[in-house]
């Protein structure tokens, strides 16, 4: 069996029992354990001086190869082009897009440097799976070094409509780089359509019509590749077990004691402007404003651990959220009732799962999101006999699958307040039937299915056709890695 090489910006820290974080890390680690292979990427260290050295650690069938970044690379590649240009643009926040061509240069340079570090570790029949927007040019950099292995790419965040992508000055270079992969995976069909639309209308390429669920054949920039939608999943039964076990733990007992008999609405996400947190707080305020009988009967618990805290846009959203929660609490709180409990800290996965199970409403309203695993985790954690209700933004990829949710537009504050009221009042039979719909969907498309579908299509993808002037017969004769 071929070895699987996973390349991602960060390699998830792994403890004895596997990765602590959710979704991607668990699914990827699982795949690696089954096939054997390597996980390659940034260690998370930023070096003040000196040359980063690759660190290789074997853990059973999995090899972890990690490397630090020097400060300039971290600033240009990670904080700069990845998170100040691509992240806002791909989340439709053209107003927040910053662009500096030196940072784009740094982004390309780091991709090339990382590729160069990986090449000596590669074997001829390795299959390489690259993840996310930090590493768009990675395959191009490998190909330039003679690597002929199959290389797939999965984009975890949305792929924007052409008119938005055009705001990123090197848009063409990015899409051309994407075409160096053999298979491109997107979260949803709308993301796939947006990519195909760019290829056809902005890059003079061609996309063959879709046949069933097979990936589409794309011809662009002198290459032929495949592209498909692969919605990422979770392991719903494991989350349910975690949630059940956590219900007996101290954090849950404390929460219940302070909630009394009030209903609980929960939101959990990294503190990111794409997650629609300010709009979410305002819709909760609108609920309290319109339905006075809800006062003292419901609390919103928002957990929002810090992320990218050294960037201005993230400092701004933090201040905004602190101001909004303070204002709303000042307006409605009583001596023994705090309407919004806002916590800027991380919790253990088992505690989160138990909180999800305890909450009557999962409040997941991003302005844009590739998928949104929290929505899937909330549903997974529910008690089938007495499930809560998911209120979900139509702009989360998860809304394509979780039709049992109350789907809202996060810009429509009144609409969200109405959905909250409906969720809080929903009869048991309706809650159960919506839950059954969603949990069946989550079981059918769990994270193993996601991974297996992608790997199957990558194995079946043509070995990236070469530009017409390179004779096809020669391509396989070249060494796999140089
Ligand atoms: C990107 C895309 C796509 C959150 N707070 C804590 C904590 N979390 C966990 C959640 C969940 C994960 O982090 C967040 O995943 P999301 O999918 O919700 O969002 P992003 O981080 O933006 O992820 C997204 C995803 O990639 C996968 O493809 O769905 O669209 O943006 O698992 O539970 N985990 C712990 N403590 C916390 O306080 N332990």
Ligand 1 touching residue 156 (CB < 6 A):
yes
3-state percent helix, strand, coil for the chain, nearest multiple of 5: 45, 20, 35
Task: Tell me, yes or no, whether 32 and 139 share the same domain.
Answer: yes
Asked if residue 403 is part of any domain, the answer here is yes
Asked if residue 197 is part of any domain, the answer here is yes
Give strand pairing partners of 351.
none
Ligand 1 touching residue 352 (CB < 6 A):
yes
Annotate 383-400 with DSSP letters as a single string: -TTS--EEEEETTBGGGG
Q: Give tens-digit pLDDT for 406-442.
A: 999 999 999 999 999 999 999 999 999 999 999 999 9
Task: Tell me, yes or no, whether 274 and 388 share the same domain.
Answer: yes
Using a pLDDT cut of 70, give the percent of the chain over it. 93
Copy the structure tokens of residue 55.
Answer: 């660190």
Task: Tell me, yes or no, whether 368 and 431 share the same domain.
Answer: yes
Asked if residue 138 is part of any domain, the answer here is yes
Q: CA-to-CA distance for 352 and 357, rounded, in angstroms? A: 9
Q: For position 34, what pLDDT does the model report?
A: 80
Q: For position 463, what pLDDT does the model report?
A: 54
Q: Can you tell me which atom of ligand 1 is nearest the CA of 275?
A: 22
Q: In the block, which residue shows the tokens 């929290």?
A: 374
Determine the distance separating the centroid of ligand 1 and the alpha carbon of 398, expressed in angstroms.
Answer: 13
Asked if residue 61 is part of any domain, the answer here is yes
If one counts the domains in the chain, the total is: 2
Task: Tell me, yes or no, whether 98 and 229 share the same domain.
Answer: yes
In this structure, are residues 98 and 131 in contact, taking their beta carbons and an 8 Å threshold? no
Sign of the Cα torsion 186, 43, 315, 77 reads negative
Asked if residue 262 is part of any domain, the answer here is yes
Work out the number of other CB atoms within 10 angstroms of the CB of residue 262: 14
Contacts by residues 10-14 (CB-CB < 8 Å, ≥ 24 positions apart): 10/41, 10/42, 10/44, 11/39, 11/40, 11/41, 11/42, 11/43, 11/64, 11/65, 11/66, 13/44, 14/59, 14/64
Task: Tell me, yes or no, whether 242 and 284 share the same domain.
Answer: yes
Q: For position 25, what pLDDT does the model report?
A: 77
Q: In the block, which residue shows the tokens 């009583």?
A: 334
Determine the distance separating the centroid of ligand 1 and the alpha carbon of 393, expressed in angstroms.
Answer: 16
Task: Tell me, yes or no, whether 226 and 314 share the same domain.
Answer: no
Asked if residue 168 is part of any domain, the answer here is yes
**Rounded to whole angstroms, what are the CA distances from 118 to 7, 41, 130, 141, 214?**
9, 9, 12, 11, 31
Using a pLDDT cut of 90, give the percent of the chain over it. 85
Residue 96 makes CB contacts below 8 A (sequence gap 6+) with 88, 273, 313
Ligand 1 touching residue 128 (CB < 6 A):
no
CATH number, position 110: 3.40.50.2000
Task: Tell me, yes or no, whether 206 and 250 share the same domain.
Answer: no
- Can you point out the beta strands (E) in 140-244? 151-154, 183-186, 206-207, 216-220, 223-229
Q: Give tens-digit pLDDT for 235-281.
A: 999 999 999 999 889 999 999 999 999 999 999 999 999 999 999 99
Ligand 1 touching residue 26 (CB < 6 A):
no
Kindly tell me if the per-residue pLDDT of 464 is higher than 70.
no
Q: CA-to-CA distance for 263 and 243, rounded, in angstroms? A: 18
Q: At what angle do helices 349-358 and 236-246 cross, to 10 degrees?
A: 80
Range of the domain at 53: 4-233+447-460
**Rounded to whole angstroms, what are the CA distances from 148 to 45, 133, 450, 451?**
30, 22, 25, 22
In this structure, are residues 66 and 43 in contact, taking their beta carbons and an 8 Å threshold? yes
Q: Give tens-digit pLDDT for 20-38.
A: 555 567 778 877 888 889 9
Q: For position 480, what pLDDT does the model report?
A: 29
Asked if residue 101 is part of any domain, the answer here is yes
Task: Tell me, yes or no, whether 110 and 64 share the same domain.
Answer: yes
Q: Which is the catalytic residue, given 91, 156, 171, 226?
A: 156
Q: For position 22, what pLDDT does the model report?
A: 55
Q: For position 36, what pLDDT does the model report?
A: 87
Backbone angles phi, psi at 459, to 5 degrees: -65, -35
Q: Is 71 helix (H, G, I), strand (E, B) or coil?
A: helix
Q: Can you tell me which atom of ligand 1 is nearest the CA of 369?
A: 30
In this structure, are residues 404 and 434 in contact, taking their beta carbons and an 8 Å threshold? yes
Task: Tell me, yes or no, whether 401 and 369 share the same domain.
Answer: yes
Determine the distance separating the centroid of ligand 1 and the alpha carbon of 391, expressed in angstroms.
Answer: 17
Task: Tell me, yes or no, whether 82 and 213 share the same domain.
Answer: yes
Q: Give tens-digit pLDDT for 338-392.
A: 999 999 999 999 999 999 999 999 999 999 999 999 999 999 999 999 999 999 9
Asked if residue 477 is part of any domain, the answer here is no
> How many alpha carbons lie under 13 Å from residue 152 in its C-beta half-sphere?
28
Q: CA-to-CA distance for 230 and 353, rounded, in angstroms? A: 25
Active-site residue flag, 369 = yes
Q: Which is the catalytic residue, given 132, 272, 369, 457?
A: 369
Q: Cα–chain-centroid distance for residue 189? A: 16
Task: Tell me, yes or no, whether 218 and 241 share the same domain.
Answer: no
The closest of 164, 189, 165 to 178, measured between CA atoms, is: 165
Ligand 1 touching residue 377 (CB < 6 A):
yes
Task: Tell me, yes or no, whether 210 and 271 share the same domain.
Answer: no
Q: For position 14, what pLDDT does the model report?
A: 67
Ligand 1 touching residue 251 (CB < 6 A):
no
């Amino acid at each position: 069996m071929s070895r699987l090489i996973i390349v991602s910006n960060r390699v998830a820290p792994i403890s004895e029992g596997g990765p602590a974080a959710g979704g991607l890390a668990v699914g990827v680690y699982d795949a690696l354990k089954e096939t054997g292979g390597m996980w390659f990427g940034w260690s998370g260290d930023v070096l003040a001086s000196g040359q980063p050295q690759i660190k290789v650690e074997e853990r059973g069938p999995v090899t972890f190869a990690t490397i630090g970044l020097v400060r300039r690379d971290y600033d240009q590649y990670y904080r700069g082009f990845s998170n100040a240009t691509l992240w806002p643009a791909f989340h439709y926040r053209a107003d927040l897009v910053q662009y500096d061509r030196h940072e784009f240069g740094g982004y390309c340079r780091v991709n090339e440097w990382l590729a160069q570090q990986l090449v000596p570790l590669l074997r001829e029949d390795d299959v390489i799976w690259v993840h996310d927007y930090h590493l768009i040019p990675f395959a191009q950099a490998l190909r330039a070094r003679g690597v002929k292995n199959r290389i797939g790419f999965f984009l975890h965040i949305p792929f924007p409509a052409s008119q938005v992508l055009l705001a990123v000055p090197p848009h063409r270079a990015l899409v051309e780089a994407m075409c160096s992969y053999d298979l491109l995976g997107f979260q949803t069909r709308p993301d796939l359509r947006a990519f195909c639309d760019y290829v056809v209308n902005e890059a003079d390429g061609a996309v063959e019509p879709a046949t069933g669920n097979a990936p589409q054949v794309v011809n662009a920039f002198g290459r032929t590749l495949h592209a498909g939608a692969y919605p990422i999943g979770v392991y719903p039964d494991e989350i349910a077990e975690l949630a059940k076990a956590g219900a007996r733990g101290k954090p849950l007992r404390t929460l219940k004691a302070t909630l009394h008999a009030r209903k609980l609405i929960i939101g959990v996400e990294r503190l990111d402007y794409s997650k629609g947190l300010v709009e979410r707080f305002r819709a909760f305020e609108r609920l309290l404003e319109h339905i006075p009988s809800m006062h003292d009967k419901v609390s919103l618990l928002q957990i929002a651990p810090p992320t990218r805290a050294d960037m201005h846009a993230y400092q701004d959203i933090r201040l905004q959220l602190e101001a909004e929660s303070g204002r709303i609490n000042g307006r409605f709180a009583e001596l023994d009732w705090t309407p919004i409990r806002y916590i800027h800290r991380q919790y253990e996965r088992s505690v989160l799962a138990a909180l999800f199970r305890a909450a009557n409403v999962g409040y997941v309203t991003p302005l844009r999101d590739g998928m949104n695993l929290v929505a899937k985790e909330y549903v997974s954690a529910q008690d089938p006999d007495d499930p809560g209700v998911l209120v979900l933004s139509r702009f989360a990829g998860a809304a394509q699958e979780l039709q049992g949710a109350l789907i809202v537009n996060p810009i429509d504050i009144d609409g969200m307040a109405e959905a909250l009221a409906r969720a809080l009042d929903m009869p048991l039979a309706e809650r159960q039937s919506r839950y059954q719909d969603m949990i069946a969907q989550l079981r059918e498309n769990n994270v193993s299915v996601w991974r297996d579908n992608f790997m199957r299509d990558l194995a079946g993808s043509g070995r990236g056709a070469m530009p017409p002037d390179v004779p096809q017969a020669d391509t396989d004769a070249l060494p796999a890695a140089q």
